[in-house]
Amino acid sequence: MTVSLIDTLFEGLRIEARRPWRRAIVSRDSWKVASTHLAEGRLSLLGLWGDGSTVNMALLDEEPLDIGVLTLACADGRFPSVGAVHPPAIRLERAVRDLYGLEPEGLPDQRPWLDHGRWGVQHPLGAEPSALPAAVKYSFLPAEGESLHQIPVGPVHAGIIEPGHFRFTANGETVVRLEERLGYVHKGIESLMVGADLERGARLAARTSGDSSVAYGLAFAHAAEAALGLQIPPRAAWLRALMAELERLANHFGDFGAVCNDASFSIMHAQTGVLRERTLRAAAAGFGHRLMMDRVVPGGVAADLAPAGAAQVRELLAEIGRVFPRLVELYDNTASLQDRTVTTGILKPALARQFGAGGYVGRASGRAFDARAATAYPPYDSLKFDVPVLDGGDVNARVWIRIREIEQSVGLIEQILAGLPEGPLRIRAEATNACEGLGLAEGFRGDVLAWLRLDGEGRIARCHLRDPSWFQWPLLEAVIEGNIVADFPLCNKSFNCSYSGHDL
Amino acid sequence: MRRTLFESLVKSPLTEASPGPDDAALAELAANVECAARRRLGRSLSIREIDAGSCNGCELEIHALNNAFYDLERFGLRFVASPRHADVLMVTGPVTKNMREALQRTYDATPDPKWVVAVGDCAADGGIFSASYAVAGGVHAVVPVDLHIRGCPPSPTQLLKGLLALLAQS
């Protein structure tokens, strides 16, 4: 038997839970050892969150797949910063400090992150929320040199998009530094989760990032079902996958067209807009809601596939088969478009690996992780699909990953429609004792993590939701460096990070 | 590309017939907006969209108004990039406390006469997020609202019906 790195971390420790992965309480020294493993690239960070007076980190060992959660009790409200040695943890630790008042010792960035000093309360999830917030003056990181100028953008942007602030420092047309400031759409979802029952929790999860409503529903349901030890009916799992692939198709169509539109190639935007609309209409015919909100619930699914919906999904696949190859050819053969996407915004594979970047951001830069394949949650264990991987890392590669994933999703939907098992849609999901669970689901943007702790009365004691964007936003800052300002929209759209999913 | 362009010429358009204005929206406007303002509203309008804290679900459906099926611009309605060019502000989301000032400043930057449309259940009263420490409430908690379009999120057809009510001469 091979011993994984995570095995060595858990050696001699009492396992608090194994739902479905291990969690144990560790000492400060073990916490630091784990941080070193992250810093030296032997493990990836899956998440880092506060819970009462403890701080938790989820670790991923990709080969062979293993996941473990370490919990550290913070004596005096302090813990050794992971971000001090492993930069992907920095923003997560700033958020933990804002929300819980726990102090990451040695954290290189002392500025708040989600807290803009406007909540009227400090450390809202901490043991002692204080009513007197400190006055916040947020200073951006400096960039020094001759002839530099700054371009502040947002939080209200020019398009129909979410709010966030971008501070560009440019030398002429060339971006020297981009710094993001996020948190504008922080809605306090994690505080609303506390005390909610599973049904309300699922509704909140489904509204964490509207474009990934199904993926969040899945991650939350996976966590709840792991906590309760439930095995959902096969038909429910297959219908969930159908919804997840429809969601992926809709978003990838939208992004493909939007990237081209940012290079002023609007015909693609118009054409993919039609495919996206047809996908949403098929979803509405099949499940009664265009974004399929609240259809994935703990214990199964809330709606069966309507017969008319199945027919409309088949029509959709036929239409994609007719139109999409032509659009791909158009993309590939339009020199003016390629001129904008090829070699623009290159994300180096080493950075993608370090940050554990998921989705098309990771897969366009050589990181193959896909929760559907890696954790093989049903029905993906019995479906055939490839996880496309490229290593170019530019806007073009991120477009091509989406194109390939659209093709894969079409194949998956065909398999699902052909093999959809009969049977019940849902089983009761009710917590009678205190328990916890961790869930992962692959959304169109990457892996969504949910960690859930239930009290003895069926209420949520703590739920943490980690959007893939946490590990993608910082990389956007890296890829824009040295590119021209006019290419930022292309880079940004090729990442399409979630503001709401990140800000929570 | 030639084939795609050619087909666009010879095939019938995808754009669907106007769904007509929404009765509830007409009633709300009649109650909230005075007659002179309503006459002014019944023209081509420029819309500035502001996400004041939404989950981005409403944004997806507002985006869809521009696709070939709904083709918002045929009604003389169009989205603009700056509040300074806008007649109508379309605001989504529960207004988060972190976005309150940005919404207020966007409203102040919009020249009179101006109208505010609150889009989605969260924009009406904070929706599922209303009890949070981080949420100021519905859009009306920060700026005056002339019309609500409900839904989570409202479908493009619902959005279109609400917006057409703005154009209806009454």
Q: What is the pLDDT of residue A134?
A: 62
pLDDT greater than 70 at residue A89 = yes
Q: Find, among A260, A250, A248, the residue nearest to A280 by Cα.
A: A250
Question: In this structure, what is the dihedral angle of CA atoms A353, A181, A103, B131, given to the nearest 10 degrees?
Answer: -110
CB-based contacts of B94, cutoff 8 Å, min separation 6: A187, B52, B53, B54, B122, B123, B126, B127, B129, B130, B132, B135, B136, B137, B138
Mutate to test the interface with A, among B96, B105, B135, B160 (most CBs of A within 10 A): B96
Other C-beta atoms closer than 10 Å to the C-beta of A177 total 18
Q: Which residue has the higher pLDDT, A240 or A131?
A: A240
Residues of A in contact with B79 (CB under 8 A): 160
Rounded to two decimals, the ipTM of the complex is: 0.94
Q: Give backbone dihedrals phi and psi of A296, rounded to 5 degrees, phi first.
A: -90, 120
pLDDT greater than 60 at residue B170 = no
Give me the percent of chain B exceeding a pLDDT of 90.
Answer: 67
Q: What is the pLDDT of residue A130?
A: 79
**Stretch (H or E) spanning A152:** strand A148-153
Q: Find, among B134, B51, B32, the residue nearest to B91 by Cα.
A: B51
pLDDT digits (tens, 9 = 90+) for A277-326: 999 999 999 999 999 999 999 999 999 999 999 999 999 999 999 999 99
Q: How far apart are CA B125 and CA B112, in angstroms?
A: 25
B133 touches chain A (CB under 8 A): yes
Mean pLDDT of A101-124: 94
Residue type present at position A305:
L
pLDDT digits (tens, 9 = 90+) for B72-126: 998 889 999 999 999 999 999 999 999 999 999 999 999 999 999 999 999 999 9
**Structure tokens of A12?**
């001699």
Q: How far apart are CA A386 and CA A105, in angstroms?
A: 43
Residues of B in contact with A163 (CB under 8 A): 50-52, 99, 102
CA angle A8, A14, A15 (to 5 degrees): 80
pLDDT greater than 80 at residue B169 = no
Residues of A in contact with B61 (CB under 8 A): 290
Q: How far apart are CA A457 and CA A167, in angstroms?
A: 47
Q: What is the pLDDT of residue B9?
A: 85
A155 and B99 within 8 Å at the Cβ level: the answer is yes
Do B123 and B94 form a contact (C-beta atoms < 8 A)?
yes
Task: Considering only the beta carbons, identify the residue of A158, A187, A284 that sits closest to B132.
Answer: A187
Angle A473-480/A488-495 helices, nearest 10 degrees?
A: 150
CB-based contacts of A88, cutoff 8 Å, min separation 6: A38, A45, A354, A355, A356, A471, A474
- Distance to chain B for A33, nearest Cα, Å: 36
pLDDT greater than 70 at residue A259 = yes
Residue where the block lists tokens 């953008």: A153
pLDDT greater than 90 at residue A17 = no
A163 and B131 within 8 Å at the Cβ level: the answer is no
Q: Find, among A492, A2, A21, the residue nearest to A227 by Cα.
A: A21
Helix (H, G, I), strand (E, B) or coil at A137: coil
Any idea how long chain B is?
Answer: 170
Residues of A in contact with B69 (CB under 8 A): 274, 277
Residues of B in contact with A333 (CB under 8 A): 1
Q: What is the pLDDT of residue A36?
A: 96
pLDDT greater than 90 at residue A329 = yes
B109 touches chain A (CB under 8 A): no
Q: How far apart are CA A150 and CA A171, in angstroms?
A: 9
pLDDT greater than 90 at residue A496 = yes
Weakest mean pLDDT among A11-25, A167-181, A480-494: A11-25
Identify the burial level of A478 via C-beta atoms within 10 angstroms of its C-beta, where 0-12 means exposed, 13-18 middle and 19 or more buried: middle
B98 and A291 within 8 Å at the Cβ level: the answer is no
Do A385 and A410 form a contact (C-beta atoms < 8 A)?
no
pLDDT digits (tens, 9 = 90+) for A175-219: 999 999 999 999 999 999 999 999 999 999 999 999 999 999 999
Mean pLDDT of B18-23: 88
Q: Which residue has the higher pLDDT, B76 or A497?
A: A497
- Per-residue confidence band for A125, with pLDDT thresholds at 50, 70 and 90: very high
CA angle A332, A337, A341 (to 5 degrees): 90
Task: Return left, alpha or beta for A196; rule: phi > 0 is left, psi -120 to 50 is alpha, else beta.
Answer: beta
Mean pLDDT of A369-393: 96
Mean pLDDT of B15-34: 86
Task: Considering only the beta carbons, identify the residue of A158, A187, A333 that sits closest to B53.
Answer: A187
In order, the DSSP letters of B4-35 are: HHHHHHHSPP-PPPP----HHHHHHHHHHS-H
pLDDT greater than 60 at residue A476 = yes
- Per-residue confidence band for A346, with pLDDT thresholds at 50, 70 and 90: very high
Q: Find, among A472, A450, A446, the residue nearest to A212 by Cα.
A: A446
Residues of B in contact with A187 (CB under 8 A): 53, 94, 96, 129, 132, 134-135
Task: Considering only the beta carbons, identify the residue of A188, A271, A273 that sits closest to B132.
Answer: A188
- Point out which residues pair with B148 in neighbouring strands: B118
pLDDT digits (tens, 9 = 90+) for A32-67: 999 999 999 999 999 999 999 999 999 999 988 999
A185 and B106 within 8 Å at the Cβ level: the answer is no
The 10 Å CB-count burial string (b at 16+, else e) for B112-123 is eebbbbbbbbbb
Mean pLDDT of chain A: 94
Q: Report, in angstroms and rounded to the nearest whole number, the Rg of chain A calculated over CA atoms.
A: 22
Q: How far apart are CA A432 and CA A212, in angstroms?
A: 30
pLDDT greater than 90 at residue B158 = yes
Whether the upstream peptide bond of residue B156 has omega within 30° of 0, thus cis, is no
Task: Considering only the beta carbons, identify the residue of A119, A161, A207 that sits closest to B97.
Answer: A119
Residues of B in contact with A273 (CB under 8 A): 64, 66-68
Q: Find, among A224, A203, A234, the residue nearest to A462 by Cα.
A: A224
Give me the percent of chain A exceeding a pLDDT of 70.
Answer: 99
Q: Find, among A91, A115, A154, the residue nearest to A492 by Cα.
A: A154
Mean pLDDT of B158-168: 89
B57 and A280 within 8 Å at the Cβ level: the answer is no
Do B154 and B8 form a contact (C-beta atoms < 8 A)?
no
Task: Considering only the beta carbons, identify the residue of A162, A184, A326 that sits closest to B4.
Answer: A326
- Distance to chain B for A142, nearest Cα, Å: 24
Q: How far apart are CA A273 and CA A257, in angstroms?
A: 7
- Distance to chain A for B25, nearest Cα, Å: 22
B117 touches chain A (CB under 8 A): no
Q: What is the pLDDT of residue B7?
A: 84
Do B143 and B136 form a contact (C-beta atoms < 8 A)?
no
A267 and B62 within 8 Å at the Cβ level: the answer is no
Strands B45-51 and B88-92: parallel
CB-based contacts of A122, cutoff 8 Å, min separation 6: A101, A115, A129, A130, A131, A132, A133, A134
Q: How far apart are CA B166 and CA A2, in angstroms?
A: 68
- Per-residue confidence band for A132, with pLDDT thresholds at 50, 70 and 90: low
Q: What is the pLDDT of residue A135?
A: 66
Which alpha helices (DSSP H) does A77-116 contain, by range? 90-100
Task: Considering only the beta carbons, identify the residue of A162, A277, A326 that sits closest to B69.
Answer: A277
Q: How far apart are CA B154 and CA B118, in angstroms?
A: 11
pLDDT greater than 90 at residue A5 = no
Q: What is the pLDDT of residue B110?
A: 96
Identify the burial level of B85 via C-beta atoms within 10 angstroms of its C-beta, where 0-12 means exposed, 13-18 middle and 19 or more buried: middle
**Structure tokens of A188?**
């306090």
pLDDT greater than 60 at residue A444 = yes
Whether the upstream peptide bond of residue A307 has omega within 30° of 0, thus cis, is no
Task: Considering only the beta carbons, identify the residue of B62, B97, B153 that sits closest to A118.
Answer: B97
Mutate to test the interface with A, among B47, B55, B133 (most CBs of A within 10 A): B55
Mean pLDDT of B58-75: 94
